[in-house]
Protein backbone atom coordinates (compact mmCIF):
# COMPACT_ATOMS: atom_id res chain seq x y z
CA UNK A 1 0.00 0.00 0.00
CA UNK A 2 2.90 2.37 0.78
CA UNK A 3 4.27 1.97 -2.75
CA UNK A 4 0.89 2.67 -4.33
CA UNK A 5 0.46 5.84 -2.25
CA UNK A 6 3.91 6.98 -3.28
CA UNK A 7 3.24 6.29 -6.97
CA UNK A 8 -0.19 7.92 -6.83
CA UNK A 9 1.20 11.12 -5.33
CA UNK A 10 3.82 11.29 -8.09
CA UNK A 11 1.21 10.82 -10.81
CA UNK A 12 -1.09 13.43 -9.30
CA UNK A 13 1.77 15.94 -9.11
CA UNK A 14 2.59 15.46 -12.80
CA UNK A 15 -1.05 15.49 -13.87
CA UNK A 16 -1.58 18.77 -12.07
CA UNK A 17 1.47 20.52 -13.51
CA UNK A 18 2.50 18.84 -16.79
CA UNK A 19 0.06 16.17 -18.04
CA UNK A 20 1.57 15.96 -21.53
CA UNK A 21 5.05 15.38 -20.11
CA UNK A 22 3.63 12.66 -17.86
CA UNK A 23 2.20 10.88 -20.90
CA UNK A 24 5.57 11.07 -22.66
CA UNK A 25 7.41 9.79 -19.59
CA UNK A 26 5.07 6.81 -19.42
CA UNK A 27 5.47 6.09 -23.13
CA UNK A 28 9.25 6.27 -22.83
CA UNK A 29 9.19 3.71 -20.05
CA UNK A 30 7.47 1.24 -22.39
CA UNK A 31 9.40 -0.74 -25.04
CA UNK A 32 9.81 1.31 -28.21
CA UNK A 33 8.98 -1.86 -30.18
CA UNK A 34 5.46 -1.55 -28.77
CA UNK A 35 5.05 2.22 -28.58
CA UNK A 36 6.38 3.00 -32.07
CA UNK A 37 4.01 0.80 -34.09
CA UNK A 38 1.02 1.71 -31.90
CA UNK A 39 1.72 5.43 -32.22
CA UNK A 40 2.15 5.06 -35.98
CA UNK A 41 -1.29 3.44 -36.21
CA UNK A 42 -2.81 6.34 -34.29
CA UNK A 43 -1.22 8.92 -36.58
CA UNK A 44 -2.51 7.13 -39.68
CA UNK A 45 -6.04 7.15 -38.27
CA UNK A 46 -6.16 10.95 -38.55
CA UNK A 47 -3.26 12.17 -40.71
CA UNK A 48 -4.32 15.84 -40.60
CA UNK A 49 -5.63 16.16 -37.06
CA UNK A 50 -3.98 18.68 -34.75
CA UNK A 51 -5.61 17.44 -31.57
CA UNK A 52 -3.18 16.73 -28.68
CA UNK A 53 -3.62 12.95 -29.01
CA UNK A 54 -2.34 12.96 -32.59
CA UNK A 55 0.42 15.47 -31.90
CA UNK A 56 1.66 13.22 -29.08
CA UNK A 57 1.32 10.14 -31.28
CA UNK A 58 3.52 11.72 -33.98
CA UNK A 59 6.11 12.52 -31.32
CA UNK A 60 5.96 9.03 -29.81
CA UNK A 61 6.31 7.48 -33.28
CA UNK A 62 9.47 9.49 -33.91
CA UNK A 63 7.82 11.13 -36.91
CA UNK A 64 9.16 14.64 -36.33
CA UNK A 65 8.44 15.61 -39.94
CA UNK A 66 4.82 14.58 -39.47
CA UNK A 67 4.67 16.44 -36.17
CA UNK A 68 5.91 19.63 -37.82
CA UNK A 69 3.28 19.30 -40.55
CA UNK A 70 0.60 19.02 -37.88
CA UNK A 71 2.01 22.12 -36.20
CA UNK A 72 1.87 23.96 -39.52
CA UNK A 73 -1.74 22.90 -39.97
CA UNK A 74 -2.61 23.92 -36.42
CA UNK A 75 -1.00 27.33 -36.83
CA UNK A 76 -2.96 27.99 -40.00
CA UNK A 77 -6.27 27.29 -38.28
CA UNK A 78 -8.30 29.55 -36.03
CA UNK A 79 -7.64 28.01 -32.65
CA UNK A 80 -8.44 29.11 -29.13
CA UNK A 81 -5.83 30.40 -26.72
CA UNK A 82 -6.24 27.20 -24.73
CA UNK A 83 -5.59 25.04 -27.81
CA UNK A 84 -2.53 27.11 -28.65
CA UNK A 85 -1.19 26.65 -25.11
CA UNK A 86 -1.58 22.86 -25.31
CA UNK A 87 0.17 22.83 -28.69
CA UNK A 88 2.99 24.88 -27.16
CA UNK A 89 3.36 22.33 -24.35
CA UNK A 90 3.69 19.47 -26.83
CA UNK A 91 6.13 21.42 -29.01
CA UNK A 92 8.23 22.09 -25.91
CA UNK A 93 8.19 18.40 -24.96
CA UNK A 94 9.38 17.63 -28.51
CA UNK A 95 12.19 20.19 -28.32
CA UNK A 96 10.56 22.16 -31.16
CA UNK A 97 11.27 25.52 -29.59
CA UNK A 98 10.28 27.75 -32.50
CA UNK A 99 6.85 26.16 -32.61
CA UNK A 100 6.61 26.31 -28.81
CA UNK A 101 7.19 30.07 -29.01
CA UNK A 102 4.73 30.55 -31.89
CA UNK A 103 1.95 28.78 -30.04
CA UNK A 104 2.85 30.46 -26.74
CA UNK A 105 2.38 33.82 -28.44
CA UNK A 106 -1.00 32.68 -29.79
CA UNK A 107 -1.97 31.50 -26.29
CA UNK A 108 -2.17 35.07 -24.97
CA UNK A 109 -5.10 35.19 -22.56
CA UNK A 110 -5.17 31.48 -21.77
CA UNK A 111 -5.62 30.88 -18.06
CA UNK A 112 -2.68 28.46 -17.82
CA UNK A 113 -0.37 30.42 -20.12
CA UNK A 114 1.96 31.54 -17.26
CA UNK A 115 2.57 27.89 -16.37
CA UNK A 116 3.62 27.12 -19.95
CA UNK A 117 5.70 30.29 -20.12
CA UNK A 118 7.50 29.19 -16.93
CA UNK A 119 8.21 25.76 -18.40
CA UNK A 120 9.56 27.42 -21.54
CA UNK A 121 11.98 29.53 -19.48
CA UNK A 122 12.92 26.53 -17.33
CA UNK A 123 13.72 24.55 -20.47
CA UNK A 124 16.24 27.22 -21.46
CA UNK A 125 17.80 27.19 -17.99
CA UNK A 126 16.34 30.54 -16.95
CA UNK A 127 15.41 29.29 -13.51
CA UNK A 128 14.80 32.68 -11.90
CA UNK A 129 12.77 33.83 -14.90
CA UNK A 130 10.56 30.75 -14.63
CA UNK A 131 9.87 31.46 -10.97
CA UNK A 132 9.11 35.09 -11.75
CA UNK A 133 6.65 34.11 -14.49
CA UNK A 134 4.50 32.39 -11.85
CA UNK A 135 4.48 35.23 -9.32
CA UNK A 136 0.95 36.15 -8.18
CA UNK A 137 -0.75 33.30 -10.05
CA UNK A 138 -3.66 31.14 -8.74
CA UNK A 139 -3.21 28.20 -6.37
CA UNK A 140 -2.36 25.56 -8.99
CA UNK A 141 0.46 27.66 -10.44
CA UNK A 142 1.53 28.74 -6.97
CA UNK A 143 2.34 25.08 -6.26
CA UNK A 144 4.40 24.96 -9.46
CA UNK A 145 6.18 28.16 -8.40
CA UNK A 146 6.98 26.69 -4.98
CA UNK A 147 8.43 23.58 -6.60
CA UNK A 148 10.64 25.60 -8.97
CA UNK A 149 11.73 27.92 -6.13
CA UNK A 150 12.80 24.87 -4.16
CA UNK A 151 14.89 23.50 -7.02
CA UNK A 152 16.48 26.89 -7.56
CA UNK A 153 17.26 26.96 -3.84
CA UNK A 154 19.07 23.59 -4.09
CA UNK A 155 20.99 24.72 -7.18
CA UNK A 156 21.89 27.86 -5.27
CA UNK A 157 23.79 25.94 -2.57
CA UNK A 158 21.23 24.73 -0.01
CA UNK A 159 22.33 21.87 2.29
CA UNK A 160 20.44 19.42 4.51
CA UNK A 161 20.81 19.96 8.25
CA UNK A 162 21.76 16.97 10.42
CA UNK A 163 22.88 16.65 14.05
CA UNK A 164 26.41 15.52 14.86
CA UNK A 165 26.32 11.94 16.14
CA UNK A 166 29.04 9.90 17.81
CA UNK A 167 29.25 6.29 16.67
CA UNK A 168 31.87 3.61 16.13
CA UNK A 169 32.27 2.55 12.47
CA UNK A 170 33.19 -1.02 11.61
CA UNK A 171 36.29 -1.57 9.50
CA UNK A 172 36.10 -2.59 5.82
CA UNK A 173 32.47 -1.55 5.45
CA UNK A 174 31.42 0.83 2.66
CA UNK A 175 27.96 2.28 2.10
CA UNK A 176 27.05 3.53 -1.38
CA UNK A 177 24.35 6.11 -2.16
CA UNK A 178 23.01 5.53 -5.67
CA UNK A 179 20.67 7.15 -8.16
CA UNK A 180 19.38 3.79 -9.44
CA UNK A 181 20.39 0.14 -9.53
CA UNK A 182 19.76 -3.38 -10.76
CA UNK A 183 17.40 -5.20 -10.94
CA UNK A 184 15.07 -2.28 -11.72
CA UNK A 185 17.41 -0.36 -14.03
CA UNK A 186 19.74 -1.92 -16.60
CA UNK A 187 21.76 1.17 -17.58
CA UNK A 188 25.53 1.36 -17.79
CA UNK A 189 25.43 3.31 -14.51
CA UNK A 190 23.57 0.50 -12.73
CA UNK A 191 25.78 -2.21 -14.18
CA UNK A 192 29.01 -0.36 -13.30
CA UNK A 193 27.76 0.03 -9.74
CA UNK A 194 26.83 -3.63 -9.45
CA UNK A 195 30.22 -4.69 -10.80
CA UNK A 196 31.99 -2.42 -8.30
CA UNK A 197 29.94 -3.74 -5.39
CA UNK A 198 30.46 -7.36 -6.41
CA UNK A 199 34.20 -6.94 -6.81
CA UNK A 200 34.49 -5.04 -3.52
CA UNK A 201 32.76 -7.87 -1.71
CA UNK A 202 35.05 -10.38 -3.40
CA UNK A 203 38.04 -8.39 -2.14
CA UNK A 204 36.85 -8.52 1.47
CA UNK A 205 34.76 -5.38 1.90
CA UNK A 206 31.23 -5.55 3.27
CA UNK A 207 28.96 -3.36 1.15
CA UNK A 208 25.50 -1.82 1.41
CA UNK A 209 23.92 0.07 -1.48
CA UNK A 210 21.16 2.60 -0.75
CA UNK A 211 19.15 4.11 -3.61
CA UNK A 212 17.62 7.58 -3.74
CA UNK A 213 14.38 8.45 -1.99
CA UNK A 214 11.34 7.00 -3.76
CA UNK A 215 13.28 4.77 -6.17
CA UNK A 216 12.24 2.47 -7.82
CA UNK A 217 8.53 3.10 -7.16
CA UNK A 218 8.76 6.45 -8.92
CA UNK A 219 9.86 4.76 -12.15
CA UNK A 220 6.88 2.40 -12.07
CA UNK A 221 8.08 -0.57 -9.96
CA UNK A 222 4.98 -0.64 -7.78
CA UNK A 223 5.76 -4.03 -6.24
CA UNK A 224 9.34 -3.11 -5.28
CA UNK A 225 10.57 -4.32 -1.91
CA UNK A 226 12.56 -2.32 0.60
CA UNK A 227 15.49 -4.70 0.20
CA UNK A 228 16.90 -6.60 -2.78
CA UNK A 229 19.81 -9.01 -2.85
CA UNK A 230 21.35 -9.47 -6.30
CA UNK A 231 24.39 -11.75 -6.70
CA UNK A 232 24.97 -11.39 -2.97
CA UNK A 233 24.87 -7.57 -3.09
CA UNK A 234 22.38 -5.93 -0.70
CA UNK A 235 20.35 -2.98 -2.01
CA UNK A 236 18.21 -0.96 0.41
CA UNK A 237 15.35 1.27 -0.81
CA UNK A 238 14.18 4.45 0.89
CA UNK A 239 10.42 4.13 0.38
CA UNK A 240 8.44 6.38 2.72
CA UNK A 241 4.64 6.48 2.64
CA UNK A 242 4.86 10.04 1.38
CA UNK A 243 7.53 12.35 0.00
CA UNK A 244 7.97 16.05 0.61
CA UNK A 245 6.59 18.22 -2.19
CA UNK A 246 9.73 20.35 -2.56
CA UNK A 247 13.18 19.34 -3.78
CA UNK A 248 14.93 20.60 -0.65
CA UNK A 249 12.29 18.86 1.48
CA UNK A 250 12.90 15.54 -0.31
CA UNK A 251 16.67 15.84 0.03
CA UNK A 252 16.32 16.62 3.73
CA UNK A 253 14.06 13.58 4.03
CA UNK A 254 16.61 11.47 2.14
CA UNK A 255 19.45 12.68 4.35
CA UNK A 256 17.46 11.83 7.50
CA UNK A 257 16.70 8.33 6.19
CA UNK A 258 20.25 7.72 4.99
CA UNK A 259 21.60 8.74 8.38
CA UNK A 260 19.38 6.13 10.05
CA UNK A 261 20.65 3.42 7.69
CA UNK A 262 24.26 4.46 8.23
CA UNK A 263 23.89 4.37 12.03
CA UNK A 264 22.65 0.80 11.72
CA UNK A 265 25.17 -0.43 9.14
CA UNK A 266 28.15 1.45 10.67
CA UNK A 267 30.25 1.97 7.53
CA UNK A 268 33.81 3.24 7.69
CA UNK A 269 33.44 5.02 4.31
CA UNK A 270 30.55 6.61 2.38
CA UNK A 271 30.68 6.50 -1.43
CA UNK A 272 28.31 8.25 -3.83
CA UNK A 273 28.13 9.20 -7.50
CA UNK A 274 27.14 12.09 -9.73
CA UNK A 275 25.19 14.21 -9.83
CA UNK A 276 25.65 16.80 -7.09
CA UNK A 277 22.38 16.15 -5.21
CA UNK A 278 23.78 12.76 -4.20
CA UNK A 279 26.95 14.48 -3.05
CA UNK A 280 25.05 17.10 -1.06
CA UNK A 281 23.27 14.37 0.93
CA UNK A 282 26.29 12.07 1.35
CA UNK A 283 28.47 14.97 2.49
CA UNK A 284 26.13 15.97 5.32
CA UNK A 285 25.66 12.37 6.48
CA UNK A 286 29.44 11.89 6.46
CA UNK A 287 29.93 15.13 8.40
CA UNK A 288 27.28 14.10 10.93
CA UNK A 289 29.12 10.82 11.56
CA UNK A 290 32.67 12.15 11.08
CA UNK A 291 33.29 9.71 8.23
CA UNK A 292 35.37 10.12 5.06
CA UNK A 293 33.35 10.19 1.86
CA UNK A 294 34.02 9.61 -1.82
CA UNK A 295 32.38 11.33 -4.79
CA UNK A 296 32.52 9.36 -8.04
CA UNK A 297 32.17 11.47 -11.18
CA UNK A 298 30.72 9.22 -13.86
CA UNK A 299 29.43 11.91 -16.16
CA UNK A 300 29.25 15.60 -16.87
CA UNK A 301 25.52 15.90 -16.30
CA UNK A 302 25.41 19.65 -16.78
CA UNK A 303 26.83 19.03 -20.26
CA UNK A 304 24.40 16.16 -20.81
CA UNK A 305 21.56 18.59 -20.07
CA UNK A 306 23.08 21.24 -22.35
CA UNK A 307 23.56 18.72 -25.19
CA UNK A 308 19.79 18.57 -25.73
CA UNK A 309 19.60 22.35 -26.16
CA UNK A 310 21.41 24.99 -28.20
CA UNK A 311 24.79 26.60 -27.62
CA UNK A 312 23.19 29.23 -25.39
CA UNK A 313 22.44 26.54 -22.78
CA UNK A 314 26.05 26.63 -21.54
CA UNK A 315 25.60 30.32 -20.70
CA UNK A 316 22.32 29.77 -18.86
CA UNK A 317 21.67 30.23 -15.16
CA UNK A 318 20.96 26.52 -14.71
CA UNK A 319 24.19 25.43 -16.38
CA UNK A 320 26.31 27.87 -14.37
CA UNK A 321 24.72 26.89 -11.06
CA UNK A 322 24.95 23.19 -11.98
CA UNK A 323 28.69 23.51 -12.63
CA UNK A 324 29.20 25.50 -9.41
CA UNK A 325 27.45 22.86 -7.32
CA UNK A 326 29.41 20.02 -8.95
CA UNK A 327 32.68 21.85 -8.29
CA UNK A 328 31.69 22.57 -4.68
CA UNK A 329 30.83 18.92 -4.02
CA UNK A 330 34.03 17.66 -5.65
CA UNK A 331 36.20 20.06 -3.69
CA UNK A 332 34.57 19.07 -0.39
CA UNK A 333 34.88 15.29 -0.93
CA UNK A 334 37.79 13.43 0.67
CA UNK A 335 38.41 11.64 -2.64
CA UNK A 336 37.09 12.10 -6.18
CA UNK A 337 36.93 9.03 -8.43
CA UNK A 338 36.42 9.26 -12.18
CA UNK A 339 36.57 7.19 -15.37
CA UNK A 340 39.43 8.56 -17.44
CA UNK A 341 42.06 11.20 -18.11
CA UNK A 342 39.74 13.55 -20.02
CA UNK A 343 37.33 13.62 -17.10
CA UNK A 344 40.18 14.02 -14.61
CA UNK A 345 41.44 17.08 -16.50
CA UNK A 346 38.01 18.71 -16.23
CA UNK A 347 37.84 17.91 -12.51
CA UNK A 348 41.28 19.37 -11.82
CA UNK A 349 40.32 22.48 -13.83
CA UNK A 350 37.41 23.00 -11.42
CA UNK A 351 39.82 23.37 -8.49
CA UNK A 352 40.26 19.81 -7.21
CA UNK A 353 43.91 18.89 -6.50
CA UNK A 354 45.16 16.25 -8.94
CA UNK A 355 46.39 14.05 -6.07
CA UNK A 356 42.82 13.87 -4.76
CA UNK A 357 41.50 12.34 -8.03
CA UNK A 358 41.61 8.58 -8.61
CA UNK A 359 40.93 7.03 -12.02
CA UNK A 360 38.96 3.77 -11.92
CA UNK A 361 38.07 3.14 -15.57
CA UNK A 362 35.10 1.29 -16.95
CA UNK A 363 36.05 -2.36 -16.90
CA UNK A 364 34.87 -5.94 -17.36
CA UNK A 365 34.36 -9.06 -15.32
CA UNK A 366 32.23 -12.19 -15.24
CA UNK A 367 31.25 -13.53 -18.65
CA UNK A 368 33.52 -11.03 -20.46
CA UNK A 369 36.58 -12.69 -18.93
CA UNK A 370 35.68 -16.02 -20.53
CA UNK A 371 36.81 -16.86 -24.04
CA UNK A 372 34.25 -15.28 -26.42
CA UNK A 373 32.12 -17.42 -28.71
CA UNK A 374 32.63 -17.48 -32.45
CA UNK A 375 30.30 -15.15 -34.34
CA UNK A 376 28.19 -18.00 -35.69
CA UNK A 377 27.60 -19.59 -32.27
CA UNK A 378 26.61 -16.25 -30.71
CA UNK A 379 24.18 -15.52 -33.55
CA UNK A 380 22.58 -18.94 -33.34
CA UNK A 381 22.10 -18.44 -29.59
CA UNK A 382 20.28 -15.17 -30.32
CA UNK A 383 18.25 -16.37 -33.29
CA UNK A 384 20.15 -14.18 -35.76
CA UNK A 385 21.25 -15.12 -39.27
CA UNK A 386 24.54 -16.99 -38.72
CA UNK A 387 25.76 -16.21 -42.24
CA UNK A 388 25.22 -12.46 -42.02
CA UNK A 389 27.79 -9.71 -41.69
CA UNK A 390 26.84 -7.55 -38.71
CA UNK A 391 27.70 -4.03 -37.62
CA UNK A 392 25.97 -2.33 -34.73
CA UNK A 393 26.01 -1.16 -31.16
CA UNK A 394 24.74 -1.82 -27.66
CA UNK A 395 23.75 1.54 -26.23
CA UNK A 396 21.18 3.84 -24.71
CA UNK A 397 19.29 5.26 -27.67
CA UNK A 398 19.62 8.98 -27.04
CA UNK A 399 20.54 11.72 -29.49
CA UNK A 400 24.14 12.31 -28.41
CA UNK A 401 25.04 8.64 -29.05
CA UNK A 402 24.81 9.40 -32.79
CA UNK A 403 23.04 6.20 -33.82
CA UNK A 404 21.38 8.17 -36.64
CA UNK A 405 24.85 8.60 -38.16
CA UNK A 406 25.39 4.84 -37.92
CA UNK A 407 22.09 4.27 -39.75
CA UNK A 408 23.17 6.72 -42.46
CA UNK A 409 26.54 4.96 -42.81
CA UNK A 410 24.76 1.60 -43.00
CA UNK A 411 22.59 2.95 -45.82
CA UNK A 412 25.76 3.83 -47.75
CA UNK A 413 27.24 0.36 -47.21
CA UNK A 414 24.14 -1.78 -47.75
CA UNK A 415 24.22 -1.68 -51.59
CA UNK A 416 27.90 -2.72 -51.58
CA UNK A 417 27.62 -5.61 -49.08
CA UNK A 418 24.64 -7.89 -49.68
CA UNK A 419 25.09 -9.83 -46.42
CA UNK A 420 25.44 -6.74 -44.25
CA UNK A 421 22.96 -6.28 -41.42
CA UNK A 422 22.55 -3.64 -38.72
CA UNK A 423 22.02 -4.67 -35.09
CA UNK A 424 20.95 -2.04 -32.54
CA UNK A 425 20.59 -3.17 -28.93
CA UNK A 426 19.05 -0.87 -26.35
CA UNK A 427 16.20 1.56 -25.97
CA UNK A 428 15.62 5.22 -25.24
CA UNK A 429 13.96 8.43 -26.33
CA UNK A 430 15.59 8.35 -29.78
CA UNK A 431 14.39 4.82 -30.63
CA UNK A 432 11.18 5.80 -32.49
CA UNK A 433 13.01 8.34 -34.67
CA UNK A 434 15.73 5.79 -35.48
CA UNK A 435 13.15 3.17 -36.44
CA UNK A 436 11.41 5.76 -38.63
CA UNK A 437 14.76 6.62 -40.27
CA UNK A 438 15.37 2.95 -41.06
CA UNK A 439 11.86 2.62 -42.54
CA UNK A 440 12.31 5.69 -44.73
CA UNK A 441 15.60 4.31 -46.05
CA UNK A 442 13.97 0.99 -46.93
CA UNK A 443 16.30 -0.98 -44.64
CA UNK A 444 13.84 -2.49 -42.18
CA UNK A 445 14.42 -6.04 -43.48
CA UNK A 446 18.15 -5.72 -42.86
CA UNK A 447 17.97 -4.01 -39.46
CA UNK A 448 17.25 -5.61 -36.11
CA UNK A 449 16.26 -3.44 -33.15
CA UNK A 450 16.65 -5.77 -30.18
CA UNK A 451 15.40 -3.30 -27.56
CA UNK A 452 16.42 -3.71 -23.94
CA UNK A 453 18.04 -7.07 -23.26
CA UNK A 454 18.85 -8.85 -19.98
CA UNK A 455 22.32 -8.06 -18.65
CA UNK A 456 23.18 -11.75 -18.74
CA UNK A 457 22.59 -11.75 -22.51
CA UNK A 458 24.45 -8.55 -23.43
CA UNK A 459 27.79 -10.26 -24.03
CA UNK A 460 26.20 -12.46 -26.72
CA UNK A 461 25.15 -9.39 -28.71
CA UNK A 462 28.71 -8.08 -28.58
CA UNK A 463 29.97 -11.43 -29.81
CA UNK A 464 27.40 -11.55 -32.61
CA UNK A 465 28.84 -8.41 -34.19
CA UNK A 466 31.68 -8.28 -36.69
CA UNK A 467 32.35 -4.63 -35.83
CA UNK A 468 31.11 -2.64 -32.83
CA UNK A 469 30.37 1.04 -33.49
CA UNK A 470 30.41 4.06 -31.14
CA UNK A 471 29.25 6.95 -33.38
CA UNK A 472 28.93 9.61 -30.66
CA UNK A 473 28.25 13.23 -31.57
CA UNK A 474 30.97 15.82 -30.91
CA UNK A 475 29.70 17.49 -27.72
CA UNK A 476 31.27 18.58 -24.45
CA UNK A 477 29.77 15.58 -22.65
CA UNK A 478 30.96 13.01 -25.22
CA UNK A 479 34.44 14.51 -25.39
CA UNK A 480 34.84 13.95 -21.64
CA UNK A 481 32.89 10.82 -20.66
CA UNK A 482 34.22 7.35 -21.42
CA UNK A 483 31.41 4.82 -22.01
CA UNK A 484 31.34 1.21 -20.83
CA UNK A 485 30.05 -0.57 -23.93
CA UNK A 486 33.15 -0.31 -26.18
CA UNK A 487 35.24 -1.76 -23.35
CA UNK A 488 32.90 -4.76 -23.25
CA UNK A 489 33.07 -5.07 -27.04
CA UNK A 490 36.86 -5.10 -26.98
CA UNK A 491 36.82 -7.70 -24.21
CA UNK A 492 34.63 -9.77 -26.53
CA UNK A 493 37.38 -9.70 -29.16
CA UNK A 494 35.50 -7.38 -31.54
CA UNK A 495 37.14 -4.34 -33.15
CA UNK A 496 35.55 -0.96 -32.41
CA UNK A 497 35.01 1.92 -34.81
CA UNK A 498 34.32 5.10 -32.88
CA UNK A 499 34.12 8.85 -33.19
CA UNK A 500 37.50 10.51 -32.77
CA UNK A 501 36.87 12.19 -29.41
CA UNK A 502 39.20 12.66 -26.42
CA UNK A 503 37.37 10.24 -24.11
CA UNK A 504 37.08 7.55 -26.78
CA UNK A 505 40.76 7.80 -27.72
CA UNK A 506 41.47 6.47 -24.22
CA UNK A 507 39.75 3.23 -25.25
CA UNK A 508 40.06 2.92 -29.04
CA UNK A 509 43.54 3.11 -30.53
CA UNK A 510 43.46 3.72 -34.26
CA UNK A 511 44.88 0.81 -36.21
CA UNK A 512 45.54 -1.19 -33.02
CA UNK A 513 42.12 -2.32 -31.72
CA UNK A 514 39.82 -0.41 -34.07
CA UNK A 515 39.43 2.77 -36.07
CA UNK A 516 38.76 6.40 -35.17
CA UNK A 517 36.70 8.57 -37.52
CA UNK A 518 35.54 12.17 -37.52
CA UNK A 519 32.31 12.51 -35.56
CA UNK A 520 29.06 13.21 -37.39
CA UNK A 521 30.49 12.19 -40.78
CA UNK A 522 28.51 9.12 -41.95
CA UNK A 523 30.57 8.84 -45.14
CA UNK A 524 33.83 8.62 -43.16
CA UNK A 525 32.21 6.10 -40.82
CA UNK A 526 31.08 4.03 -43.81
CA UNK A 527 34.61 4.04 -45.27
CA UNK A 528 36.17 2.83 -41.99
CA UNK A 529 33.55 0.12 -41.61
CA UNK A 530 34.04 -1.06 -45.20
CA UNK A 531 37.79 -1.38 -44.63
CA UNK A 532 37.19 -3.77 -41.72
CA UNK A 533 34.24 -5.61 -43.23
CA UNK A 534 36.25 -6.27 -46.37
CA UNK A 535 39.19 -7.81 -44.47
CA UNK A 536 38.36 -10.59 -41.99
CA UNK A 537 42.00 -11.04 -41.03
CA UNK A 538 42.26 -7.38 -40.04
CA UNK A 539 39.08 -7.62 -37.97
CA UNK A 540 40.40 -10.63 -36.11
CA UNK A 541 43.79 -9.03 -35.42
CA UNK A 542 42.30 -5.81 -34.10
CA UNK A 543 39.76 -7.71 -32.01
CA UNK A 544 42.43 -9.94 -30.45
CA UNK A 545 44.60 -6.93 -29.60
CA UNK A 546 41.64 -5.16 -28.00
CA UNK A 547 40.76 -8.14 -25.82
CA UNK A 548 44.36 -8.59 -24.69
CA UNK A 549 44.66 -4.93 -23.61
CA UNK A 550 41.32 -4.87 -21.76
CA UNK A 551 42.10 -8.01 -19.79
CA UNK A 552 45.48 -6.56 -18.83
CA UNK A 553 44.30 -3.08 -17.81
CA UNK A 554 40.53 -2.90 -17.28
CA UNK A 555 39.01 -5.44 -14.87
CA UNK A 556 36.65 -4.85 -11.99
CA UNK A 557 38.98 -6.79 -9.71
CA UNK A 558 41.79 -4.34 -10.41
CA UNK A 559 39.40 -1.46 -9.71
CA UNK A 560 38.30 -3.04 -6.42
CA UNK A 561 41.93 -3.13 -5.33
CA UNK A 562 42.27 0.58 -6.17
CA UNK A 563 39.12 1.44 -4.21
CA UNK A 564 40.23 -0.64 -1.23
CA UNK A 565 43.65 1.00 -1.00
CA UNK A 566 42.10 4.45 -1.32
CA UNK A 567 39.51 3.72 1.40
CA UNK A 568 42.19 2.49 3.77
CA UNK A 569 44.23 5.64 3.13
CA UNK A 570 41.22 7.82 3.91
CA UNK A 571 40.57 5.99 7.17
CA UNK A 572 44.22 6.40 8.10
CA UNK A 573 44.13 10.19 7.76
Taking 70 as the threshold, does the pLDDT of residue 377 lie above it? yes
What DSSP letter does each residue of 223-248 carry, written as one string? T--SEEEETTEEEE----SS--SSHH
For 201-225, the pLDDT digits (tens) are 999 999 999 999 999 999 888 899 9
- CB proximity list for 280: less than 8 A, separation 6 or greater: 154, 158, 159, 160, 251, 325, 329
| pLDDT higher than threshold 60 for residue 11 | no
Sign, CA torsion 212/94/449/418? negative
Pairing of the two strands 227-230 and 233-236: antiparallel
Mean pLDDT (whole number) for 120-135: 97
Whether 15 has a pLDDT exceeding 90, the answer reads no
CATH code, 366-554? 3.40.50.2000
Would you state the pLDDT for residue 37? 86
Which segments within 452-558 are labelled E, that is strand? 467-470, 496-499, 514-517
- In the predicted model, is pLDDT for residue 14 greater than 60? no
8 Å CB contact between 58 and 43: yes
Does the pLDDT of residue 53 top 80, yes or no? yes
Confidence of residue 451 (pLDDT cuts 50, 70, 90): very high
* More confident of the two residues 23 and 294: 294
Residue 66's pLDDT is 92
CB 192 within 8 A of CB 209: no
Name which of 37-51, 170-184, 225-239, 240-254 the model is least confident about.
37-51
| Closest by Cα among 401, 456, 455 to 424 | 401
DSSP 364: B
State the chain's mean pLDDT as an integer.
94
Q: At a CB cut-off of 8 Å and minimum separation 6, what does 536 contact?
A: none
The yes-or-no answer to whether 173-359 and 366-554 have a common fold is yes
Residue 138's pLDDT band (boundaries 50, 70, 90)?
Answer: confident
pLDDT at residue 8, rounded to an integer: 65
Domain ranges of the chain: 2-110, 173-359, 366-554
Residue 365 predicted with pLDDT over 60 = yes
Peptide bond into 183 cis (omega under 30): yes
pLDDT by residue (tens digit) across 493-521? 999 999 999 999 999 999 999 999 999 99
With H, G, I as helix, E, B as strand and everything else as coil, classify residue 209: strand
Q: Which CATH number fits domain 173-359: 3.40.50.2000, 3.30.1490.20, 3.40.50.720, 3.40.50.920?
A: 3.40.50.2000
Handedness of CA 273, 29, 214, 173 (dihedral sign): negative
Segment among 37-41, 167-171, 244-248, 359-363 with least mean pLDDT: 37-41
How far apart are the C-alpha atoms of 88 and 22, rounded to whole Å?
15
Structural contact between residues 487 and 514, judged by C-beta atoms closer than 8 angstroms = no
Amino acid sequence: MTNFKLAASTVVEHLTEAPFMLVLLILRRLPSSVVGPAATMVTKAAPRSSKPLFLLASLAAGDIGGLVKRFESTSAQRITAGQARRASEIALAAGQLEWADIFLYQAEGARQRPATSARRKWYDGDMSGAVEALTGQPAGMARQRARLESELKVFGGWRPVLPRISFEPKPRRVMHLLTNSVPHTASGYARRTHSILTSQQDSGWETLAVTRLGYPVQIGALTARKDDVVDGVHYTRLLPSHMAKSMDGRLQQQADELLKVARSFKPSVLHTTTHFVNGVVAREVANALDLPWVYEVRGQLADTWASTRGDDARRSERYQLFMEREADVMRSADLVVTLGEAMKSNIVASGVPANKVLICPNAVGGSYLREPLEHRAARLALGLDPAGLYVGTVSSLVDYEGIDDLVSAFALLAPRLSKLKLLVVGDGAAAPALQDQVRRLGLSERTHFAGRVPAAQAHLFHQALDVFVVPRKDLAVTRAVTPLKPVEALASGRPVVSSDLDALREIVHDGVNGRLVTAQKPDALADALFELLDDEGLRLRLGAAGRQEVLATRTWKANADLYGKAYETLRGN
